[in-house]
Amino acid sequence: MSRRRRALLIGLVVAVAVAGAVWWSVAALRPATPEEAALDYLRALESGDPEAVAATGTTVSDAALTAFAGAASTIEDAEVAGVREGDRGVSARVTFRLDGDEHEAHLRLTPASGRWVVDGSGLGGFRATSTIGTAVRVGDAVLPVAEEAALLPAVYPVIAAPSALLTGSTETVVLPGDDATATVDAELRPEATEAAQTQLEAYLKTCAADGTAVPENCGIRIPWGTEFREVSDVTFRVERFPAVTLSTGGFTADDGILEATVTGTGQDGAARTVTYRSTAWSVRGGVDITADELALTVW
């Protein structure tokens, strides 16, 4: 091959390479079409990666991204079946599989920051109820019951919260543009009674602190009225705390043993000290179970 021909061949290769680089640069700078943006969103959902979803530009709450991180399963075989432009903007008809079933949805796309993004039509509404407690765990997120949330399409485990105190779970399928509900049939774990017992004993210890009067809302009743004109000191000794029994509506605590030593002035005007003993010390109250704790209210 002659030197001239070799130079021409090298020049041609360089020109093709430069042209390819320029084309690639232009293509890389070109904003994604609505169809490509819709497909990017679907692929992000398929990946199960919250960061990939956030990168598409779709507005998603932190709670929804956290829930998505713990989804039981995500969409599969997603495709964009068509894109239509109308008076209401651009809409993509998409198909996918979720939880073993075929689904179809319409995703609206809007321009934002120089690109097309899927709007809220790409999420689904969700509302949960629970027989006990004020919250449930959906995926990896803790959500309040009876409040609607917008979640990413997926299958989610819905678990009674807090799981350390409650048991009970179900699953829900969230679809784009649809509303999903879930009811958790929650039950108390033995740990809930243990937590309530610990909390009640701490409360009753404050009730049994030495003082000059009988504390209210402590289940303590001392029949000193017929024996004392005036009381100067009351000393308590707890022999056994009442044992807690929990229910969905509240708690009872029975069979406690308490001694109270009362010092003061008797009805006859003389100094007097009497010890009273109760073998049926009991209290009642309400129970609130929030997202992360159990709280007793003694009546």
**pLDDT for 224:** 87
Residue 22, pLDDT > 90, answer no
Mean pLDDT of 115-129: 97
pLDDT digits (tens, 9 = 90+) for 46-73: 999 999 999 999 999 999 999 999 999 9
DSSP symbol at 122:
G
Percent pLDDT > 70 in the chain is 90
pLDDT digits (tens, 9 = 90+) for 215-265: 999 999 998 888 999 999 999 999 999 999 999 889 999 999 999 999 999
pLDDT digits (tens, 9 = 90+) for 140-168: 999 999 999 999 999 999 999 999 999 99
Does residue 41 contact residue 33 with C-beta atoms inside 8 Å?
A: no
**pLDDT for 72:** 98
In the chain, count of helices (H) and strands (E)?
5, 18
Mean pLDDT of 92-119: 96
Single pTM value for the model: 0.82
Q: For 104, how many CA atoms within 13 A lie in the half-sphere containing its CB?
A: 5
Gap between the Cα atoms of 251 and 245, Å rounded = 6
